[in-house]
Amino acid sequence: MDVQTDPKNCGSIYNSCGFNEVCTKGRCGCRPGTTNCSGVCIDTSVSSINCGSCGARCAIGLVCTYGACDLPVSDWPTFGHDPAHSGENKAETGRPPLTLSWDDRWGLVGTANYPVLSGGQLYVTHEQGYGLYAWNVSDGFSRWIADFDHFPRLRGMPAVFSNTVYVVDTEVWGDKHYLWAFDTDGAVRWRSQLPDFPQNLGAPLRVADTVFTNAGTAGGLYGFSSSDGAQKFLEPMDPSYDSWSAAYFSGRIYTFSAGHFRAHDPTTGAIQNQLDLTWTAGENARAVPVFNSDLAFVITPPDLVAINPALNQVAWSAGDAYSGTPAVSENSVYAISAGQLVVRDATSGSLEWSFTGDAQLSYPPVIANGYVYVASDENLYAVDISTHLAVDHKPLGGWLIVGNHRLIVTPKNKPVTAYVLSK
């Protein structure tokens, strides 16, 4: 131990320096790039209450980036970014390299679900227990916590539509299973009870005045009124498959469950078309269809399959060791196969290029401004799409989203972390 430089024992044993402080010659002081604001070391490039200088507070809904308060013009409000789950944020202008902005240093969330981002707020749920968290995306400080109903419960992925946060949760040893709607200040707008136990909870989807979600292990597509949560319909589907998320494309709702690719009427939930693919029970439980302007892409392990929804037929398929959820940008589809990122031509399925990383890649790729971000449990990589080379790497993995000039990572049993993208 060197009390001259150890921030946990600075000058003497157990004299710990504060956040954003370093120990120099036995004294705690602000780390380079931070400013002393009333005795606290602040990174004024990202602080929502000291943005650019001490005491310069951003209004609610604005994001502090590069020391200025700006509108959050590049949100990521649901799984895969948009109702078609493309996995691309076309509005994001930031790029690597990545600079640490903040992390959940108190560990309030633990193992977090897929996060979402809207209106300058990051929304996160815990896989089991606790509630719905809302943080300033600028600096990670808590806005509010909605600790709804009783512990222990399983929480699903949140989604934000029309300034309303939707999330499904379920009681582990009981019969209380709900779809919740929250205002963006944390107030409960309504809740609707689900009759069955959804074990692996997907993201709700809202289109017009209807909120769509799966019905748990009883199987089916629910539709609820967005105004008051009243049930509109339940379209029965596949018993025991409960972790899929619906998508919206070209005026229809689409689901992919147990190998069945289905188009639904958005008003009644009725199945209008169905395409049956090869399916191994229990594989790729979190099944989500992904769309570009013409085709749908699904993974039914070990295959990546492109579907023409207008013709209700397979356009092409690629067999390898695919898993998870793909992403699509322009005319390329990005998917994980055998721990690597594989990129194929979206129209023909021909191989374009691949990226290995640590050979353990497993989370859905996310795309923004000419870069694709991919992660394993332990590592994340920023890959230049034009050169196919990694331009940045961080020793932290998990679910990824990109928006508001931030790359957000929700790892397993580690703090939620935000990196600032460069101009």
> Checking DSSP bridges between strand 220-225 and strand 210-214, what pairing results, if any?
antiparallel
Distance (Å) of CA 416 to CA 18, 169, 370: 20, 21, 25
As a whole number of angstroms, the distance between CA 395 and CA 377 comes to 9
Letter string b/e over residues 7-38, b meaning 16 or more CB atoms within 10 A of that residue's CB:
eebbeeeebebeebbbbeeeebbbbeebbebe
For the chain (423 residues), the mean pLDDT of every run of 10, in chain order, is 87 87 92 90 92 94 94 95 98 96 70 91 81 91 79 79 92 76 95 73 92 82 96 87 87 94 97 92 72 96 95 96 94 97 98 98 97 98 98 97 97 91 94
Determine the pLDDT at residue 2: 86
CA–CA distance, 387 with 154 (Å, rounded to integer): 42
Please name each of the domains of the chain with its CATH number: 73-422 (2.130.10.10)
Distance of CA 82 to the CA centre of its chain: 11
Residue 150 is predicted with a pLDDT of: 57
Q: Which two tokens stand for residue 385?
A: 């799409």
Check if the beta carbon of residue 366 is closer than 8 Å to that of residue 400: yes
Q: How many Cα atoms are found within 13 Å in the side-chain-facing hemisphere of 393? A: 10
The SS3 of residue 18 is: coil
Q: Tell me the pTM.
A: 0.93
Which pLDDT belongs to residue 196? 67
Select from 149, 119, 147, 125 the least CA-distant residue to 202. Answer: 125
Longest distance between any two alpha carbons in the chain, whole Å: 73
Q: In sequence order, what are the residues at sequence separation of 6 or more whose Cβ sits closer than 8 angstroms to the Cβ of residue 223? A: 210, 211, 212, 231, 232, 233, 234, 268, 269
